[in-house]
Amino acid sequence: MRRRLPSNTKWTSVLRRIPTSSATKYVTAPAFEGHVCAFRLAAGSGPIVVEGTTGRAMTLLAGDVFLGTPGHRESPRWVVGGVPKHGLVPGKAYWLLSECGLVGDLVASTSHAKTFLGRAKYLGAVTGDDGQIITLQRFAVSPRPRRQSDHGAPVFLIVGTSPEIGKTTTGLAVLRTLLNEGHSTVIALKATGTTAITEIMRYQDYGAAQVFDCLDFGVPSTHPANRKGAAGLFKWMLDTCLAIPADAFLIECGGDIIGLNVPTFLKCLRSRRSHPKVILVASDALGAFGATGILRKMGLAVDLITGPCTDTPAVRQRTEMLCRTATLNVHFNDGERS
């Protein structure tokens, strides 16, 4: 039997592609990654903050009903968790694993996750007027175009040695440089990681013509490691973005270069662009040295190194000496560090 959602149900940002008019009822059924689901924040929970579909910080309080999706996350900084083999069971409590509304079993967490980490009871899967469970895949971008429609845009690839070291800030700097040099149409892709509308909006604010992440291709994250079907997902991303007429194609890989299925993505990218411009964001000189070696074994030469490993003249000199690669320290007027 289908039950009606409360009128004050809150929507997390993982549902940004779902029309609000399509989700009014739910059924008690097992749920899997990408299913649109209803949850209730557990009694006794303190306030937690998530992303709303507009990108604003939205507070969830104990007893609030909200919509999200089962998903996986294997972050070295925040949480590790995912969807049980047999899916989420109605009536059972799970954990919010990210601000965007991923929910699943919790394996481990750090203090960095305390703003969004909370227990939530799974109520049921949301259905459309046809009675079928609504999925993120149903509202993904159109099926992949033919490979022959590649317009040949040069690729600028940003990778890093860890989360939260300035990959997006670096991406924004590269984007502004491309625009200032006359590349009027730049397509941006956050290829790996967990969907986050605030990152999409930042690239839009800085002038990207179109911005995509994994959610546009029907999945809320590119976790877990060795994800089944990852290569097909990444080929769909590349086919879609390269088919758009553009002056440049900017790619940011979330996380580090060995997690989040980044190696699989890089292999797919090399089949389309054997020599992209590679910008490495590294936390320290040793990290930069190790990462350049790993990327070299993947067939990718690093063109520029930035990040905290260039914050002082001493560490920058050490980075250049070890890696024998040009470095650049990126700063913005608002005080963000590269």
- Return the domain boundaries, the chain: 3-139, 147-323
Q: Give residue 198's pLDDT.
A: 96
Per the structure block, which two tokens stand in for 224? 């877990």
Closest Cα to residue 101, out of 126, 76, 129, 130?
A: 126
The Cα–Cα gap between 28 and 121 comes to: 12
Burial grade of 297 (CB within 10 A; 0-12, 13-18, 19 or more): exposed
Return the exposure string of 206-225: e unless at least 16 CB atoms fall within 10 Å of the residue's CB, then b.
bbbbbbbbbbbbbbbbbbbe
The Cα–Cα gap between 150 and 157 comes to: 17
Fold of 147-323: Rossmann fold (3.40.50)
* Chain segment 276-314, per-residue pLDDT in tens: 999 999 999 999 999 999 999 999 999 999 999 999 999
Q: Give residue 10's pLDDT.
A: 98
Q: Residue ranges of the chain with pLDDT lower than 50?
A: 332-338
Q: Give residue 315's pLDDT.
A: 96
Q: Give residue 273's pLDDT.
A: 96
pTM: 0.95
User: Beta strand 102-109 with 93-96: parallel, antiparallel or unpaired?
Assistant: antiparallel
Q: Calculate the alpha carbon distances from 212 to 1, 136, 329 in Å.
A: 37, 14, 27
The Cα–Cα gap between 261 and 62 comes to: 35
φ/ψ bin of 124: left (φ > 0), alpha (ψ from -120 to 50), beta (otherwise): left
Q: Give residue 145's pLDDT.
A: 60
The Cα–Cα gap between 310 and 15 comes to: 38
